[in-house]
């Protein structure tokens, strides 16, 4: 049994095959494809080249169950290079699948004039959308917060290391400058001492 609220259930739509479709091709086999419309959702199978009157599409589509929408509109068309012509159209009712969760039926198709155009087999299935429990969601949020905190600490540590490295280089440059100044002062003192040691002969 499907839920009545949108987003809680998903609808699997499997377009299986066509049965005794009306042949709209004068020469050779027709190239059929299927178009579906469910609410605002539009789907389409690929063109089955030379699929003829009993094509096997086996194409699956997925949509969220839409509350109040009880049918899917379908059209089977024949592909041409310049235009597509209608083979037949019909309606897939959802009452059974929404009540029981599964439906496998052949749906009749009609031409524009209301003539028989064969049938389209469609398998329907509803399934519950998986949701995270509150505890699992809380745990996930905690993990995200921890990872974010760890990244911040890592970035902060790298920035601090860069600052310390810069201060260390400045300190070394300062020490080198002080040593050079001391050497210059010592040289000046030596020059003064040399001046004091000059002897005069009388």
| pLDDT, tens only, 24-35 | 998 889 999 999
**Residue 166 confidence (pLDDT):** 62
Tell me which of 144 and 106 has the higher pLDDT: 106
**Residue 94 confidence (pLDDT):** 98
Give the whole-angstrom CA distance, residue 32 versus residue 51: 6
Domain ranges of the chain: 9-128
Q: What CATH architecture does domain 9-128 belong to?
A: Sandwich (2.60)
Look at residue 141 and tell me whether its pLDDT is greater than 80: no
pLDDT tens digits along 142-194 = 777 788 788 888 877 777 777 666 665 555 555 555 555 556 555 555 555 55
Q: CA separation (Å) from 5 to 2, 68, 129, 178?
A: 9, 10, 11, 80
What the block records as the tokens of 41 is 């959702």
């Amino acid at each position: 049994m499907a839920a009545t609220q949108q987003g809680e259930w998903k609808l699997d739509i499997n377009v299986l095959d066509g049965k005794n479709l009306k042949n709209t091709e004068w020469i050779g086999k027709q190239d059929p494809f299927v178009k579906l419309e469910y609410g605002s959702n539009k789907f389409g199978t690929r063109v089955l080249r030379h699929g003829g009157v009993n094509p096997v599409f086996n194409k699956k589509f997925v949509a969220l169950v839409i509350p109040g929408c009880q049918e899917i509109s379908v059209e089977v068309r024949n592909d041409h290079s310049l235009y597509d012509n209608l083979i037949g159209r019909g309606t897939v009712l959802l009452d059974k699948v929404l009540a029981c969760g599964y439906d496998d039926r052949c749906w009749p198709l009609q031409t524009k004039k209301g003539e028989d155009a064969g049938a389209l087999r469609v398998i329907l299935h509803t399934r519950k959308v998986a949701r995270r429990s509150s505890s699992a969601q809380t745990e996930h949020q905690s993990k995200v917060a921890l990872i974010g905190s760890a990244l911040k600490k890592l970035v902060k540590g790298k920035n601090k290391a860069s600052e310390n490295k810069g201060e260390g280089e400045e300190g070394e440059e300062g020490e080198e400058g002080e040593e050079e100044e001391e050497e210059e002062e010592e040289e000046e003192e030596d020059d003064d001492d040399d001046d004091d040691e000059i002897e005069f002969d009388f």
